[in-house]
Structure formats: C-alpha cells, structure tokens
Amino acid sequence: MGPLKVSLMIAGPAIADLLQIPEMNEVIVRQENGFVDGLPWQRQTSYYPRSLEASAPRLLETSNIGEGVVTYLAGLGIKQCGYRDEITWRTPDETETSYFDLPADGHIQIVEIRRITFDQNGSRVRLTVTIWRADRNQFVINVGEVPPTARGQA
C-alpha cells in the first residue's frame, strides 16, 4: 500500500446516509492507494463517525494500525459482527482516470465496492469504499464454510 492519508471531513449526504449519521457531522477519513508490481491497483478510503475518536484515538494517527483496525477496535470493545457490501461498475471520474492511467473515453470501467460494517449493537462503524480497475480484477466471493478444494473454482 502507498502512504496513508488521514484527515477529517464534513459528511455529505451520501456518506451521512450510509453511516446513518447526521449530514454535516465530521468523519475520520483514512485513505490508501494500493499497487501491484508498481502499478496502481486500488484506492481505498474508510470513513468513521468522528464520535469514535474518544474511544479509538488511533484512528486519527497518520501511521498504519499494525494489528489492523478491526482488531484494534475489537480490543476496545467495538466488535465487527457483520458487514454489507454493495458492488457497482461505473465510468471513472477524472481523478480515477488519472490514477489508473485509463483512456479518457471511459471505455474501461472501474469497480466500486462500498462496505458498511456493523458492531455488536447493530451500529454502523465504518464505510470503506474501494475502487479497482475492472479490466485487471476478478472477484470471487465465498460465504460460510466453503471446502478448500472448491475455493476459487467457477
């Protein structure tokens, strides 16, 4: 992954709706770009309600959380019990076209995965938006107890 960027921003209508927080509330933003063999491979941005700052101050640190955010939050009593993914294909915007070095005509789409995570109380804890080039990725989703011999098979 590339350098981590951490900031605060005002939640617009979409982020506020997905996190179920009031519009105009601040959110903690953690953003990283991923590379494979030096090629831009993904962009990932996670949004957390600013209300988590009091119990999870490391979310505002500009260094990676070594054990991972899910484990860090679980250690503070905020256990991730589930998540919901929404996967869409769309035309890239100008920033994504530039980052992924895509043709300007938009004929190569991107995949956007929006993951909303829920804690043990059913509260929304995180929204993670990950962007991928559609022409370089394949997604296999296994849910539940899938035998190792069947993983990744069509």
DSSP line for 41-63? EEEEEEEEEGGGGTT-GGGG-SS
First to last CA, the chain: 29
Comparing 139 with 112, the larger pLDDT belongs to 112
Distance CA 78, CA 72 (A): 9
Distance CA 134, CA 132 (A): 6
Kindly list the distances between the CA atom of residue 81 and the CA atoms of 43, 74, 135, in Å, as whole numbers in the listed order. 25, 10, 32
Q: What percentage of the chain carries pLDDT values higher than 90?
A: 83
What pLDDT is stored for residue 144 in this prediction? 77
What pLDDT is stored for residue 150 in this prediction? 74
Q: What percentage of the chain carries pLDDT values higher than 70?
A: 96
What pLDDT is stored for residue 152 in this prediction? 58
Enter the DSSP assignment of 19.
H
Q: What is the pLDDT of residues 86-111, one digit of tens each?
A: 999 999 999 999 999 999 998 999 99
- Asked if pLDDT for residue 154 goes beyond 90, the answer is no
Q: What is the pLDDT of residues 55-86, one digit of tens each?
A: 999 999 999 999 999 999 999 999 999 999 99
Amino acid at 65: I
Residues paired with residue 5 on neighbouring β-strands, in sequence order: 31
- Asked if pLDDT for residue 2 goes beyond 80, the answer is no
What pLDDT is stored for residue 127 in this prediction? 98
Distance CA 114, CA 50 (A): 19
The confidence band for 139, taking pLDDT boundaries of 50, 70 and 90, is confident
Kindly list the distances between the CA atom of residue 102 and the CA atoms of 9, 37, 89, 111, 129, in Å, as whole numbers in the listed order. 28, 17, 15, 13, 19
State mean pLDDT over 26-32.
97
pTM: 0.90
Q: What is the largest CA-CA distance in the chain?
A: 48
Residue 21 — φ and ψ, nearest 5°? -125, 160
- Asked if pLDDT for residue 151 goes beyond 80, the answer is no
